[in-house]
Amino acid sequence: MARKFIAAGNWKMHTSIQEGVVLAETIASGSRPSNVQTILAVPFTHLTTLQKKIKASSKVILAAQNCHHKESGAFTGEVSAQMLASIKIPYVILGHSERREYFHESNQLLADKLRAALVAGLKVIFCCGETLDIRKAGNHVKHVQTQLVESLSGITAAEMKQIVIAYEPVWAIGTGETASPEQAQEMHASIRAMLQKMYGKRVADNTSILYGGSVKASNAREIFAKADVDGGLVGGASLQAGEFLQIINSF
């Protein structure tokens, strides 16, 4: 199995640059297993500064949290994938549920953003996940599959090498409520089965699928132990260096 283990921190709209530098440097200087890739998804304003501060540590790489689907143009306030590539940021998160909810990002728009990111040479952490209502109705697996099929429709097997999937049940994000390891495994296995159908076994086996939603030092180990969980996308707990380092060391 060649897929990577990944601990990704999603800082969302938190930290001043001064706080961000201290946080990133503390995380970068901590010890970690050599087979775990650490990714920090930080605000746009922090990217170049943090890149300089942590470049000595190849184990920690940076991500943006979003990008626009067009290369350039009259889109006040937006940042394009090309711009991120021009400052050599390797990753971007796309499709986070907060973007879907507050900025009305549809599966189709996300397909366009995915294409833009790949054209620019970025790797993508692509998020999916269901709301509580959808889960209660028993439609969670189908919902997540639809999100992925509609957004990955133009993506080739070769391009899947640039994509990491993050399953984040909306009801578990920032709520303190975590999917059980069994619930995470069920969804991850179904995502992997779907990738196998779309792209074949090799792509399915090599795609990292992260779990996100109230991952903490106290629950990371049992979630990451599941066969189809290849790491986590961590919000709140990634803002505390000690807690996040424990998560990184939970594989």
- Binding part of the chain for ligand PGA, among 48-56, 70-78, 100-108, 234-242 by CB under 6 A, reads 234-242
130 binds ligand PGA (CB under 6 A): no
In terms of Cα–Cα distance, which of 207, 214, 163, 162 is closest to 184?
214
Angle CA 174–176–180, to nearest 5: 110
Q: What is the CA radius of gyration of the chain?
A: 17
Question: Measured in Å, how far apart are the chain's first and last C-alpha atoms?
Answer: 15
Instruction: Return the structure tokens found at 54.
Output: 């942590």
From the candidates 96, 98, 130, 243, give the one annotated as an active-site residue.
Answer: 96
33 binds ligand PGA (CB under 6 A): no
* Residue 79: CB minimum distance to ligand PGA, A: 19
HSE on the CB side for 47, CA within 13 Å?
21
Q: Which is nearer to ligand PGA, 138 or 176 (CB)?
A: 176
Whether the CB-CB separation of 131 and 170 falls below 8 Å is answered with: yes
Find the binder of ligand PGA among 236, 243, 244, 251 (CB under 6 A).
236
Please provide residue 209's backbone torsions phi and psi, each rounded to the nearest 5 degrees.
-120, 115
Q: Is 233 helix (H, G, I), strand (E, B) or coil?
A: strand
Find the binder of ligand PGA among 233, 241, 245, 247 (CB under 6 A).
233
96 is known as an active-site residue? yes
Q: Which residues from 172-201 bind ligand PGA, rule CB under 6 A?
A: 173-174
235 binds ligand PGA (CB under 6 A): yes
Whether the CB-CB separation of 243 and 226 falls below 8 Å is answered with: no
- Contacts with ligand PGA by CB under 6 A: the residue count is 13
Q: Is 41 helix (H, G, I), strand (E, B) or coil?
A: strand
* Residue 63: CB minimum distance to ligand PGA, A: 11
- Binding part of the chain for ligand PGA, among 15-23, 188-196, 222-230, 232-240 by CB under 6 A, reads 232-240
Q: Which residues from 148-177 bind ligand PGA, rule CB under 6 A?
A: 168, 173-174
Binding footprint of ligand PGA on the chain (CB under 6 A): 10, 168, 173-174, 212-215, 233-237
The catalytic residues are 96, 168
